[in-house]
Amino acid sequence: MPIWAYDSPVARAATTSDVFNAIAEPQRREILVLLRAGERPVTELAQELGIAQPGASKHLRVLREVGLVRDRKAGKQRLYALDARGLRPIHEWTGGFERFWNESFDRLDAYVQDLKQSRQEE
Amino acid sequence: MPIWAYDSPVARAATTSDVFNAIAEPQRREILVLLRAGERPVTELAQELGIAQPGASKHLRVLREVGLVRDRKAGKQRLYALDARGLRPIHEWTGGFERFWNESFDRLDAYVQDLKQSRQEE
DNA sequence: TTGACGCATGCCGATATGGGCATATGATTC
DNA sequence: GAATCATATGCCCATATCGGCATGCGTCAA
């Protein structure tokens, strides 16, 4: 049996190549929000986020790899810009649950009460 | 200097207590989708996902802790039900980028140029 | 050319995961 | 009670992060 056939435990889907994971990080979400105002250089973003420049660069790299941001060289600087297209699938996926959170809340409350009763544990 | 004052590296936001992280896991998203059809016991979910029961239980725990599912005892079984309210914030957050992905893409370049200009007025 | 910026990377440390397994806990039926 | 389902947990392993730091690299200015 070849070595590569061994079952190797998987920790977590790579954050790279997965938009859901990319935006699971608060600071990365914040970066996207900041970029709505327009292109920005790394240092500026790092400053606004209150983190070190390497940290910002790393987050930007993840965002770039999933296609949520684009970068462009501008002299000494590198300007990052938002490319929100990748967020659309997520918007749509969550949208697929809209009718559930819109369900009548009288009924939901009743349901919750129901749960409270039927649950003795916790 | 007290022990607790040391800088302790933080690995990643706990998946617990954070809906964004909770749905960053493909199988957890799949569970939510399955639950749209109605309550289901753990074993059934595990089977449909093609994973072992402990695995399903763990994912369900995470989902429960962020409030995306509710559970209810039903005899020997424990039925899990969807509570999609927690997905709404995500839907809305991504919705905040709608105007960006709606920009015509022929015009994306032009738009970027545009940003370059409007950035000056900040 | 030599600095000085602006960024990207590599490495380290501490921690969080996810899956596989074995086992504890609960509830139901005999 | 005992045997048996249905779940939840604990543990271990291998890996993925995140942040801090030092450093490499490309670009611009003196």
B88 interfaces chain A, CB cutoff of 8 Å: yes
Kindly report, residue by residue over B61-77, the tens digit of the pLDDT: 999 999 999 999 999 99
Q: What angle do CA B26, B27, B31 make, to 5 degrees?
A: 120
pLDDT tens digits in sequence order for chain A, 122 residues long: 444 445 555 655 555 579 999 999 999 999 999 999 999 999 999 999 999 999 999 999 999 999 999 999 999 999 999 999 999 999 999 999 999 988 755 455 555 554 444 444 33
Q: State percent of chain B over pLDDT 90.
A: 66
Q: Tokens for A67?
A: 């296609």
Predicted local distance difference test score (pLDDT) of residue A119: 43
Across chain A, how many H-helices and E-strands are there? 7, 3
Torsion sign across C-alpha atoms A34, B109, A83, B106: positive
Q: What angle do CA B100, A21, B23 make, to 5 degrees?
A: 100
Q: Kindly state the DSSP code that residue B105 receives in the 8-state scheme.
A: S
Q: Which nucleotides of D are covered by protein (CB under 7 A)?
A: 5-10, 13-23, 26-28
Kindly report, residue by residue over B36-51, the tens digit of the pLDDT: 999 999 999 999 999 9
Cα separation, B81 vs B36, in Å, equals 8
Contact A34, A48 (CB under 8 A): yes
- A110: chain B residues, CB-CB within 8 Å: none
Contact A54, A73 (CB under 8 A): no
B120 interfaces chain A, CB cutoff of 8 Å: no
Cα separation, B82 vs B19, in Å, equals 14
